[in-house]
Amino acid sequence: MDTLPSSGHTDVNQVSTVAKASQLIFGGIAKGSGLTNPARTLNLTASVIAAGSDAQASDMTGDLKTGYLLHAKPCNQFIA
């Protein structure tokens, strides 16, 4: 997912956009596979996983950006 450069340069978090895009993709996959009841579970699970991972990536980007501005080494940030 290409949200890290966007989040790092503009400080705009793309979590809702990523979740909606994954719902669109997995909804199409479920419809093409002929799933009916499990399609909702698949769709929601995919969007929750995508949104959660994007939120974590955006938070980490923000933390590393702050450390960069303070001239902290990434290794020391990771240990802290």
pTM of the model: 0.64
80: tokens are 């802290």
50 contacts 22 by C-beta, under 8 angstroms: yes
Q: How many Å apart are CA 65 and CA 9, to the nearest integer?
A: 9
Q: What is the structure's pLDDT at 38?
A: 81
- 38-80 per-position pLDDT tens digit: 888 888 888 889 888 888 888 888 788 888 888 888 788 878 7
Cβ atoms within 10 Å of 71's Cβ, excluding its own = 6
- How sure is the predictor about 3, in pLDDT bands with cuts at 50, 70 and 90? very low
Sign (positive or negative) of CA dihedral 60, 61, 62, 66:
positive
